[in-house]
């Protein structure tokens, strides 16, 4: 499963990218608002940090407005992926932008039927939101499994499943086991994936035993 980092925090993106963990970045209007920065400026900076796709979301709700905003966003860099809401206008814009050769990410997907529509409109990625379904006591991960099954039924649906709204390490492993192509993950959750009590305890023991030898590796 590819990892996108779900943030506009350039320090965090640079750090995770230097480790080699990042295949792309996703943003949304709330993430840009949280960054406190200008969308064009921060998105351009992010596009310069990573080689993979950087999702930048339109904020217009109508087709014409989405297409105008997409044209502006697409000029930021070659690795921009235009993020569109899963509405009829968003799907129409997805179809047009994909046909023009742009990468597209159809977001706010909460059902198999919505994912099917995104795929039929040629979306590069569809983003089912796991955490937000869990928030209302539905099974977010089951949606990833169901979309995987549905896509596997057809050779013609080439849209990648971008598991979104992943809020913890269990969400990440669940998405990978369910066959998501990509998970978009907040920076702190990516770092959490490395944690295990037995790793920490084992390392403590190794260091204690090593100190007793008085040796250094030179
Ligand atoms: C990314 O594309 C989504 O916008 C993001 O993962 C949503 O996460 P949230 O539900 O935690 O806000």
Provide the sign of the torsion angle of the four alpha carbons 161, 141, 92, 31, taken in this order.
negative
Minimum-distance ligand 1 atom for the alpha carbon of 107: 2
Query: pLDDT digit string (tens) for 81-114?
Result: 999 999 999 999 999 999 999 999 999 999 999 9
Ligand 1, atom 5, residue with closest C-alpha:
165
Ligand 1, atom 6, residue with closest C-alpha:
165
pLDDT at position 150: 98
What is the domain range of residue 37? Answer: 2-213
Q: How many domains does the chain have?
A: 1
- Asked if residue 29 belongs to a domain, the reply is yes
pLDDT at position 133: 98
pLDDT at position 115: 98
134 falls in which pLDDT band (50, 70, 90)? very high
In the reported structure, the alpha carbon of residue 206 is separated from the centroid of ligand 1 by a whole-number distance in angstroms of 39
pLDDT at position 15: 98
Counting beta carbons within 10 angstroms of the beta carbon of residue 90, is it exposed (0 to 12), middle (13 to 18) or buried (19 or more)? buried
In the reported structure, the alpha carbon of residue 92 is separated from the centroid of ligand 1 by a whole-number distance in angstroms of 22
**Helices (runs of H) and strands (runs of E) counted in the chain:** 11, 8
- Asked if residue 85 belongs to a domain, the reply is yes
- Asked if residue 218 belongs to a domain, the reply is no
Tell me if residue 83 is catalytic.
Answer: yes
ipTM reported for the complex, 2 dp: 0.98
Query: pLDDT digit string (tens) for 139-175?
Result: 999 999 999 999 999 999 999 999 999 999 999 999 9
Domain containing 100 — which CATH number? 3.20.20.70
- Asked if residue 24 belongs to a domain, the reply is yes
186 falls in which pLDDT band (50, 70, 90)? very high
pLDDT at position 101: 98
The four Cα atoms 184, 161, 163, 172 give a dihedral, to 10 degrees, of: -90
Distance, in Å, from the CA atom of 118 to the CA atom of 95, rounded to the nearest integer, reads 9
- Asked if residue 103 belongs to a domain, the reply is yes
Q: What is the mean pLDDT of residues 18-45?
A: 98
């Amino acid at each position: 499963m590819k990892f996108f980092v779900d943030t506009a925090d350039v320090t965090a993106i640079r750090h995770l990218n230097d480790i080699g963990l990042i295949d792309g970045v996703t943003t949304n209007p709330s993430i840009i608002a949280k960054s406190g920065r200008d969308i064009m400026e921060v998105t351009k900076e992010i596009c310069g940090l990573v080689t993979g796709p950087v999702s930048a979301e339109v904020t217009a709700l109508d087709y014409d407005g989405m297409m105008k905003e997409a044209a502006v966003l697409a000029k930021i860099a070659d690795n921009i992926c235009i993020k569109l809401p899963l509405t009829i206008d968003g799907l129409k814009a997805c179809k047009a932008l994909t046909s023009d050769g742009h990468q597209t990410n159809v977001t706010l997907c909460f059902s198999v039927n919505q994912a099917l529509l995104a795929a039929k409109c040629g979306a590069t990625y569809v983003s089912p939101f796991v955490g937000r379904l869990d928030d209302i006591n539905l099974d977010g991960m089951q949606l990833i499994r169901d979309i995987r099954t549905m896509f596997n039924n057809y050779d013609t649906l080439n849209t990648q499943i971008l598991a979104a709204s992943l809020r913890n390490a269990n969400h990440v492993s669940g998405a990978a086991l369910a066959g998501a192509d990509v998970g978009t993950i907040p920076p702190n959750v990516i770092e959490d994936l490395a944690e295990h009590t037995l790793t920490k305890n084992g390392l403590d023991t190794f260091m204690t035993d090593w100190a007793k030898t008085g040796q250094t590796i030179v």
